[in-house]
Amino acid sequence: MKEKKESTLSKLTHFAGNHKYYVYASCILAAISAFIALVPFYDMWRILKEVLEVRPNFNEAIHIKSYGWHAVLFALLAMVFYIAALMCSHKAAFRVQATMRTKMMEHIMKLPLGYIESQGSGKIRKIVMESSAATETFLAHNVPDKVVSKATPIGLLIMMAIFDWHLGLMSLIPAIIAFVLMFTAMMGPK
């Protein structure tokens, strides 16, 4: 029977200790931020709809200002949630980085002195510092960005299905063409 391979994120959360909950909170807050960031697009749609419904009597479009402020409010709210997500991810990332450095140095202290002399203490120190810094970058920035990049298309699909599924399907056609073109350009012979 095959063993299930542990993901990089779950391996790193072992080093976080009790701070692993900050990683989960960061993912949740980043997803909420992605969904909230879609609300201004809905407000722009409402502005366009109102303008088109009252044309050519544009002075009858009385809700444009409130829709605009609603869009600004939700854009700011999305930023607040994303900043909170980054704060959580950074708190966990710094704990992981410090714990990894400690564990690596404890391991290095158990190595034979001849190995350390042959490699050089500066080289070993550089490897420890760069490796732990890379994990900090991954947890603090890449994890929330990945969550947003996965949550946004899901939110867009839900919005398309709610408002007008015909228009939603038509909107998917250019996206599919773009993915096909991008895939062929990236995977082509050149």
Categorise residue 188: left if φ over 0, alpha if ψ from -120 to 50, beta otherwise: beta
Task: Write the pLDDT tens digit of every residue in 31-84.
Answer: 999 999 999 988 988 888 888 888 888 888 888 899 999 999 999 999 999 999
Q: Tokens 């190595």 identify what position?
A: 111
In tens, the pLDDT along 162-180 reads: 877 777 777 778 878 887 8
The CA distance from 189 to 166, in Å, is: 37
Higher pLDDT, 134 or 167: 134
The string of pLDDT tens digits covering residues 92-114 is 999 988 888 888 888 888 877 77
Distance CA(57)–CA(55), nearest Å, equals 5
82 and 25 in contact (C-beta within 8 Å)? no
Q: Give the contacts of 92 (CB within 8 A, at least 6 positions apart).
A: 13, 16, 19, 20, 22, 23, 26, 139, 140
With residue 138 as reference, give the H or E element that holds it.
Answer: none
pTM given for the model:
0.78
Q: CB under 8 Å to 141, separation ≥6 — which residues?
A: 86, 89
**Residue 2: which region, alpha, beta or left (left: phi > 0; alpha: psi -120 to 50)?**
beta
